[in-house]
Amino acid sequence: MCNEVLKKAINSVLNSKMSFCKFLTANDTGATGGHQVGILISKSASDMMFTKTELCSGSIVKKTVKINWQDSMQTESCFTYYQSKNELRITRFGRGFPFLVPEETGSLFVFTKLEDDYFNGYFLETEDEIDSFLDTFNISPTETNRLITSKGILQSEREKEVIYDFIRGLTVDFPPSEEMSTAAREIENTLYNHKEHIISNPDNKIISWTNMEFELFRSLEHVRYGSIISNGFNSVDEFVEMANTVLNRRKSRAGKSLEHHLSAIFDGNQIRYTSQAVTEGKKKPDFIFPSEDAYHDLDFPVNKLVSLAAKTTCKDRWRQVINEADRLRNGNKYLCTLQQGISETQINEMEREKVILVVPKPYISSYPRSKQSKIWTLSQFVNFVKEKENI
């Protein structure tokens, strides 16, 4: 269900001059214990905040603007550019500002420009809100911390050529999600020739594959729907039907993407596993290592079994993984996510339930500093399972 803040954030993006989104990191919310102030903004959004002349006017450049937050409160805030750090920040929120607190780590910050000195800001706190927003604009969690555009990541001519060769060869409008994921990996591996990273750098590989799949899907949507949208609709009902079809397909594909790419990482490392194994009743962990048969063999040592859940975002849904495998109830459960930051309180809850986060290495710095050493990289998890399986 689309709540009011989510609706307002989506509408603001659609009606803005420019827009930006990012996951709030521990540094933004003060959860690192550092002395940074305000929300760090990617340099990719500099044109949204300053003119080029303004950026060159001094070592520290400041600009006062009005920001309407959640459509419920307004501040006179400050854009600050630190030339020495090559860094942009939004600062000056006033006393009692309720959103830059450690508990907000991992929320999605949506920022839109209405006029040169007037902006809207929204904080989407739940996974349903975050996923709905990202699905609406077909943005991968790996593509945040940048301007929101209809074109996604800028493609090279070679990338466009390979993607459209794939699309021209399709015999269906939209292939199954597993086929899309496979095609994305093949295209990325062909274009950038780093297939060895499956073993040597799985953390970067999972991000690269995810980005490529979103690019492939966006391109396919453009081919399939571009002319229909350009020609307009005969009725509101026709438009709503088309919009729902597009959004439902996006949600369905995005939900399986991470799981497909993890399977490819495990296959490339010769790891044994069963995906969507049935443990007890209707329980289905995303992955059981080394196999479903081993799990149900009561003579197989419990300490040689491992479960892994795959969830693109995990602010709320991480609790779903706690009881997915009864034989492992007293041991660690592992959760791989593309989420960039969650609060220390949530990680403490995970620790109490013996849930260990597995996060691509580049994203670990977005988590509270006190917890970063407890979070596993994907490479660390792969090596852990290899050791269990004597590979």
- Which of the residues are catalytic? 295
| Distance in angstroms (rounded) separating the CA atoms of residues 315 and 124 | 11
Of 2, 80, 77, 88, nearest to 45 by C-alpha is: 88
Q: 120 - beta bridge partners? A: 68, 112
Side chain identity, residue 348: N
Question: ∠ CA(334), CA(388), CA(304), 5° rounding?
Answer: 75
Q: Are 110 and 133 in contact (CB under 8 A)?
A: yes
- 215 CB-near residues (< 8 Å, 6+ apart): 152, 153, 155, 159, 163, 184
Of 214, 113, 122, nearest to 163 by C-alpha is: 214
Q: Are 330 and 307 in contact (CB under 8 A)?
A: no
| Distance in angstroms (rounded) separating the CA atoms of residues 353 and 323 | 10
Burial of 70 (0-12, 13-18, 19+ CB in 10 A): middle
| Distance in angstroms (rounded) separating the CA atoms of residues 26 and 100 | 10
Q: Which residue has the tokens 């194994």?
A: 277
| Distance in angstroms (rounded) separating the CA atoms of residues 137 and 192 | 26
Q: 90 - beta bridge partners? A: 39, 79
| Distance in angstroms (rounded) separating the CA atoms of residues 42 and 46 | 7
Phi then psi for residue 111, to 5 deg, are -130, 125
Say whether the peptide bond before residue 290 is cis (omega within 30 degrees of 0): yes
